[in-house]
Structures are given as structure tokens and as C-alpha cells.
A and B are shown apart, each in its own frame.
Chain A
Amino acid sequence: MRETPLTSWHRQQRAKMMEFGGFLMPIEYGSGIIQEHAAVRQKVGAFDVSHMGEFLVWGENGGAFLDYLVTNQPSALEVGQALYTPMCYPDGGTIDDLLIYRLEPHRFMLVVNASNIEKDWQWVREVATHYPDVELRDMSEEMGLIAVQGPLAPSLVQQLVDFNLSDLVYYHARHMLWGTSRVLVSRTGYTGEDGFELYADNEVLLAIWEKVLELGAQPVGLGARDTLRLEARLPLYGHELSQEITPLEAGLGPFVKLNKDDFVGKAALVNQKAQGLKRRTVGLTVEGGIARAGYPVVAVPAGPQIGQITSGTKSPTLDHAIALALVNVELAKIGTPLYVQVRGREIPATVVKTPFYRRPAQS
């Protein structure tokens, strides 16, 4: 199993460790997932997310290549800007969802899910064969990633960086120096809070981590990362997205630019939209139990299955059960009553607006 530059630190802290995406990762530290979740919502938490993969893409045609590779439009990024995008197979099924940064006019960085690094790398290289001047490098083994998330993240990270953080707006990134090492400071995250992600060389990651904690961030594991992202309705590959689920079905239409030039999956997605979606991802609140990934969803008790849960938990912020489900589109309207089959029982659920949690407006 792979490790990150912080794995021995997590072990020393007696974190509960589990395999995730081929890496041994901390799930929670001593105080439990609910407390760690609250720390991010109310203060600031730090996550080791070094398992994520990073690919560099450069060359004169880098932008054109990426516009063909993914569904969003990286060529439209300014230098120092980032975007979120699905990446699809020709049939519209999703290979992965990723972030793309434009670091320089002809230099981009792709950030991919840990469990998909090998698959994505193969795919990206295959598509790149049509773009002979585009160069690729897999940086995943050399690069670590720390996320600092929560309402106190800006004042904390300001103490680390040598520029004014108020100049760094959402979905933008800028380099800073840590000693002689360049660190990419990105205003992005996966929690629904304001926050930053710090991409750094493995060699300096532990020093940055310790500094972030010394400045007051609490270490938070992947358990709370999952409940935080679910409250914010952020998709998780393998749950809301997969080879069998298109980004349109997952509700990611705004990140699919059907009007741009040809891209992988375009014909299938254009066609799916023209025919009308048959199923769609919805948010549910659930009564009398917790709906978990894979549980069947029905419209009436003992009726035929009309969908399934893709992610579900008890929301620590709202203190009731929430879930995302992929359901037949005629049952996807807000307010529709549904039932989830839980161990042979059927418990009531209601389609609700998402996100389940939205951070309060900044004062």
C-alpha cells in the first residue's frame, strides 16, 4: 500500500488508518469524525490529501489538447486560474473528475483522484498521441497536498504566504516560496468552506503540515472530508460519478461545454441531452434510518426500484440523515416523496434542494 510524506506522522498520532485509493490514509484522529467535521465548519482543519495525483501538461497546443480531453474549457482559463471538470469516455461515461490549473500560458496542471491515477494517466497519454507537441509528466509521486479549510483558513494561511491573500480569489492559485521550494497556494477545496490547498514537494510537506497545525489548524481525516463534501453536495468519483454515469446525469451540466469544438464524449452527451435525461442525481433527506451507498430507492412501498443511493450519511451539521441518489427523472422533482430500502424495511425520504449545507455569507 502506498504512503504519503505524512503517513508516519499520522501513525504517531494514533490516527485510525485505512486504505483509500491504494494509499494508507488517516480516517480520523482521536476526537472522532463529528468533532473534526465541526472544527472545519466552525474553525479550521488541515487534511493530508497527498494521495491525489498531479499531471503536468505543456506545449503550444496544451490548451487545445485539454479542451478535447475534458468537458469544460481549460483554454479559457487565465494564468493562475483553476477549473473543475469531468473527463469522459466517448460514450459519455465519466473517467474521472478533476481540477485543472493554468500555471503559465502553455503549462497546465491536472489534479486527479487517487484511485484513478493509473487509469487517467494511460487515458491522457493515449489522447495526447493526437497532439505531438504536447508533453506530459506524472508528478503524483513527487508532490504532496495539504488542504486547509474552514472560516479561519484565510487568517491562518495569510501567515504562511508572502503575498496578500485577499488578492487570491476563489478558484485561483499562486506560487509562494517555502525555503527554496515552490508551493502552489490554491483557493479551492472539497468541504463547502472557504479554504486553500497547498501543493508542495514531498520533502517540505511535513514542515508545512507542522506549521499549519502550530498556527491552530486541527488535523482532520478522510472520514470528515466525506461528510463535509456530502453536505456541500460535491460529487465523489465511484459514487456520484462512474464509467456508467454521465456528468449530465450527475447534475454537472455547467461543467460540460456542449457548444465548444469536438471533445471526447461530445456526440454522446449532446445526444443524451437532446433525448432528455432518463435519470438524475438528487438530494434526499431520510427519516428513521441512514441511507447508505447502494441501497435501492422506490417510489411506493414494495414498488419497483426507481433508483439507488450513491452516498449517504447522518449529516453532522444538520443532525439528520441525508443522501444523494440517482433516480428516474420523473421522480426527481423537489418535494417528491420516495422510500429507501434499508435491510428489508422501507424508510421515507424526500427529494430536497441541494447543497444540504451552504456556508453563511461573509460579513
Chain B
Amino acid sequence: MHFPDDLQYTRDHEWLDQEGRVGITAFAQDSLGDVVFVELPEVGATVNAGDAIGVIESVKSVSDLFSPASGRVSQVNESLLDKPELINQDPYGEGWIFRLDDAVAGEVLSREEYEKEVEGK
């Protein structure tokens, strides 16, 4: 399973990049299975790190999406409304979920720390 070096990770299995983009990890998409519906946060919303601000539904399950950082939602990935499967196919690329301006990360892990976290799970 692939975890890029240049991202920060949370224990809830989100990633955050240096431009404030957020998505879920390869581990998360694999555990969920086929993603069939995504509820995106609202553009303009102010969020705190750890807030549940969206929902990801797979065929079998409903999971909250937590923000890894505080900031203001500046963009959401509207392609996911028609193609939620992008989260499975390309979790760090086309499957990004939203973007924060002035992101201030909450409690985040490095790639090494996150890998340890999901090891053996």
C-alpha cells in the first residue's frame, strides 16, 4: 500500500498536503470498499481540526469524514458527486475531497508514523 512521503496523515485516515488539499488514504479506501456516495463540506465553511464535515458511503457502510486541519473550505472536488469511485481509483490524486485555505494542521502523523499506525491492520 502506498503512502506518499510529502503528505501528513491523521489517525482517522485522512491526508493533508502542503496546499491544504485533503483526501483519505489508500488504507481507508481499501477498508471501505467501493465508494458510492460522498457528502462534501460547503465551500466557505470554517472548520476546526477534527470536525466531522462530510460523509463517505461505501456499498456497505457510512463513515464520517474528519477535517485534519482548521481553516476555511475554499474548494470541493465536485467530480466526486458523479464519480465517487475516484476515491478508490486515485485516493491521493483525482480522488481528493476538499481544500482548505489557511490550513492549520491538528494532530497529524508523518508517513512513517502513519504506516506504523496501520501496519498489520
Contact = CB atoms under 8 A, between A and B. Distances in A.
Interface of A: 16, 27-28, 32-34, 223, 226-227, 289-290, 292, 313-314, 316, 321, 343
B112 to A, nearest CB: 25
A346 B104 CA distance: 33
Contacts of B62: 290, 292
A316 B36 CA distance: 9
Nearest to A16: B33
Nearest to A31: B34
Contacts of B1: none
Interface string B15-45: 0000000000000000001101101000000
Interface stretch (B6-14, B53-61, B65-73, B91-99): B53-61
B66 to A, nearest CB: 15
Identify whether the interface residues of A are mostly helix, strand, loop, or mixed. Answer: mixed
Nearest to B88: A32
A28 B37 contact: no
Contacts of A289: 37, 39
Interface of B: 33-34, 36-37, 39, 55, 57-60, 62, 88
Contacts, number: 36
A219 to B, nearest CB: 15
Identify whether the interface residues of B are mostly helix, strand, loop, or mixed. Answer: strand
A209 to B, nearest CB: 23
A28 B33 contact: yes
Contacts of A16: 33
Nearest to A227: B59
A32 B88 CA distance: 10
Contacts of B60: 27, 33, 223, 226
A116 to B, nearest CB: 22
B59 A313 contact: yes
Contacts of B58: 33
Contacts of A27: 33, 60
Contact of B36 (A28, A226, A314, A343): A314
B33 A290 contact: no
A34 B60 CA distance: 11
A343 B59 contact: no
B36 A290 contact: yes
B115 to A, nearest CB: 19
A7 B45 CA distance: 47
A57 to B, nearest CB: 35
A290 B57 contact: yes
Contacts of B39: 289, 343
A118 to B, nearest CB: 26
Nearest to A28: B33
A15 to B, nearest CB: 12
> Which residue, of A16, A28, A290, A316, has the highest number of chain B Cβ atoms within 10 A?
A290
Contact of A343 (B33, B34, B55): B55
Given A227-B59, A292-B62, A33 B37 contact: no
B100 to A, nearest CB: 22
A226 B39 CA distance: 24
B121 to A, nearest CB: 12
B51 to A, nearest CB: 15
B36 A32 contact: no
> Which residue, of B33, B59, B62, B88, has the highest number of chain A Cβ atoms within 10 A?
B59
Nearest to B61: A292
A321 B58 CA distance: 12
A313 B34 CA distance: 12
Contacts of B33: 16, 27-28, 32-33, 223
B59 A34 contact: yes
B59 A314 contact: yes
A236 B55 CA distance: 26
B106 to A, nearest CB: 23
